[in-house]
Amino acid sequence: MRRPDPREPHGTESNHISRFPKNEVSPVPEIQGKAKHGKAHVRPVIENGRNDHKVFHELKGDGSVGDPNP
């Protein structure tokens, strides 16, 4: 195998255009507070239309949202 020329581009250094569509979906909000740093299971939090109000759902135990043992 020949020794590479240091002036030639290598790896991902190229002028090729990527041919995949741009991601139009907004990113998922990051988990904050105890839910992020704790080890225990936390009740699921679902945002309402406003950012200042959150709805806490009851765990039913039937495999629905937030059930730790589906």
Q: For the whole prediction, is pTM greater than 0.85?
A: no
According to the 3-state scheme, what is the secondary structure of the chain? CCCCCCCCCCCCCCCCCCCCCCCCCCCCCCCCCHHHHCCCCCCCEEECCCCCCEEECCCCCCCCCCCCCC
* Domain segments of the chain as ranges: 30-70
Per-residue confidence (pLDDT) for residue 55, from 0 to 100: 58
One digit per residue, the tens of pLDDT, for the chain of length 70 reads: 788 888 877 776 667 777 888 888 888 888 777 767 767 766 666 555 555 555 566 666 666 665 566 5
